[in-house]
Structure 1
Amino acid sequence: MTNRETRTLPVPEGLEGMRVDAAVARLFGLSRTVAADLIAEGDVTIDAVPSMKSDRLTAGTMLEVLLPAPEEPLEPVAEHVEGMDILYSDRDIIAVNKPVGVAAHPTVGWEGPTVLGGLAAAGFRISTSGPPERKGIVQRLDVGTSGVMVVAASERGYSVLKRAFKERTVEKTYHALVQGLPDPLTGTIDAAIGRHPSAGWKFAVTADGKHAITHYEVVEAFREASLLEIHLETGRTHQIRVHMASIGHPCVGDPMYGSDPNLAKRLGLIRQWLHAVRLGFTHPATGDWMEIEAPYPDDLSHALEVIRS
């Protein structure tokens, strides 16, 4: 038995002249590589004739595609996550202090620990809708960023918190150690963020990116770096790292965005100095405002001690 689905449709006028591999990828949400593989296997026909990937489409002809089998759903693997502390829990929410090197939930290609796997190992049960690999996830922190992260434990918690993050009523506060001293000492960076034009694995300030706003304030200044308190209005991927680098003050320990590796080495850092210290939101059940704080992990505390001395 196969659970592969066949789709047949007339080629729309808007795809007239497009390469078959590009059209199949666009129409069915596949990568160009997967589309090319289907074509090579004879799973794509035009008017019942097997196609070549470089063939050009003609409007009105019948395109038939045998789609690939759906991937098996990812499931969190229950395993103890070293250093992941439970900061708060009740029937609706669970707040954790996520260590560096831990993903929020399982993804294709990630074989390391996850927050959901750690919660499962600790005996927590997540009862929410959504894909099984992302049950309860209403926000994410990058693998390389530590700090407070809230997970919904109930359907009520999920719907209320999901809406709160979407409507930006959650207060997200980070601390970052950045190179140099920003001028002014308190400021706002309002700059769109998109994929880096020459390196798709990182992000940059771009004219056609997504709206992003970061507020910062210098908390403590040192000879080579400054400790900032940062409040995010938006939640773009790598937002703090990209915005601080864009004004010439990258996070210490972040060579991807232009930091000095020698300074990181002196401070004993092998990752960017960035930590989600506080999360403020309205509790889904009680309606009370609550704030949850996460202490610095040992590596970031050590770096601060060194630079202060």
Structure 2
Amino acid sequence: MVVVKPAGLLSQPGLGPAQADSLSSRLQVAEPSLQLVHRLDRDTSGLLVLARSPEALRRLSALFAQRAVQKLYVADVCGAPATLSGRIDQPLARLERLPPRYGNHPGGRPSLTCWRWAAPGDRCSRLWLRPLTGRSHQLRAHLAGLGLPILGDPIYGSGAQPSGLAVTRLHLHALALAFRHPFSGRRLRVHSPVPFALPAQAG
């Protein structure tokens, strides 16, 4: 099953009753066998894959581990990149615990993100992002490390938004997934519309 997670909802339950509500727990009310194959940050919206059986979970998890799942995200960032495309190859480690914050660290786990400039906005830009690894907060930390924090990011951009622009959520969305069906081998592509607008280019 592929579903669209809204921003502000946990992928799976956290610690304590205050974090019991989540996408997986809501879906398991109707279908108890469902298990998450991967996760999105609470503030990130977009496509999530769930497995309906232990064997489906094993096969789908293997596809993600083998990097056989192509993932495409869209993000609106503060500022503009210096080039039209790039590749961020920085090891990431958790630098703070509360709230969890990750950053470049020589002892961190290898992390690789490819990006392309999609559109200019008003003191901001839209980027297409393709993570080749799946580290916690990878896209948010990598872009902040470039000096391009994602609009509305409460951790890496202090709620980043240029003065005068109204941003009510993190502008990061899991836009598309492509992979082979774990049983039939048929190529699958799924897409979710972007649920936020890039602030328009002034003038």
TM-score normalised by structure 1 residue count: 0.60
Cα deviation, residue 264, structure 1: 7.3
Name the structure, 1 or 2, with higher relative contact order (CA <8 Å, separation 6+): 2
Which whole-Å CA distance do the structure 2 matches of 1:169 and 1:261 have between them? 33
Matches within 5 A, 1:6-45: none
Work out whether 1:204 is the aligned partner of 2:103.
Answer: yes
Q: In 2 relative to 1, CA 124–255 (structure 1 residues): closer, same or farther, beyond 3 Å?
A: closer
Please tell me whether the aligned partners of residues 194 and 203 of structure 1 are also in contact (alpha carbons under 8 angstroms): yes
Matches within 5 A, 1:139-154: 139-154=38-53
Larger Rg: 1
TM-score normalised by structure 2 residue count: 0.90
Per residue, is there more helix in 1 or in 2?
1
Cα RMSD (Å): 2.1
Matches within 5 A, 1:158-169: 158-169=57-68
Unaligned runs of 5+ in 1: 1-93, 127-134
Cα deviation, residue 148, structure 1: 0.4
Find the counterpart in structure 2 of residue 220 from structure 1.
119
Q: In 2 relative to 1, CA 117–199 (structure 1 residues): closer, same or farther, beyond 3 Å?
A: closer
Find the counterpart in structure 2 of residue 234 from structure 1.
133
Q: In 2 relative to 1, CA 150–259 (structure 1 residues): closer, same or farther, beyond 3 Å?
A: same
Which whole-Å CA distance do the structure 2 matches of 1:264 and 1:289 have between them? 44
Cα deviation, residue 253, structure 1: 1.0
Per residue, is there more strand in 1 or in 2?
2
Q: Select 1:278's aligned residue among 176, 179, 189.
A: 176
Work out whether 1:101 is the aligned partner of 2:8.
Answer: yes
Work out whether 1:307 is the aligned partner of 2:200.
Answer: yes
Which whole-Å CA distance do the structure 2 matches of 1:210 and 1:260 have between them? 26
Amino acid in structure 2 at the alignment position of 1:194: A
Amino acid in structure 2 at the alignment position of 1:138: V
Q: In 2 relative to 1, CA 208–162 (structure 1 residues): closer, same or farther, beyond 3 Å?
A: same
Paired positions, count? 201
Cα deviation, residue 263, structure 1: 2.5
* Cα displacement string for residues 208-256 of structure 1 (whole angstroms, at most 9, x for unaligned residues): 1110000000111124111011001101111001000111111011142
Find the counterpart in structure 2 of residue 6 from structure 1.
none
Cα deviation, residue 268, structure 1: 3.2
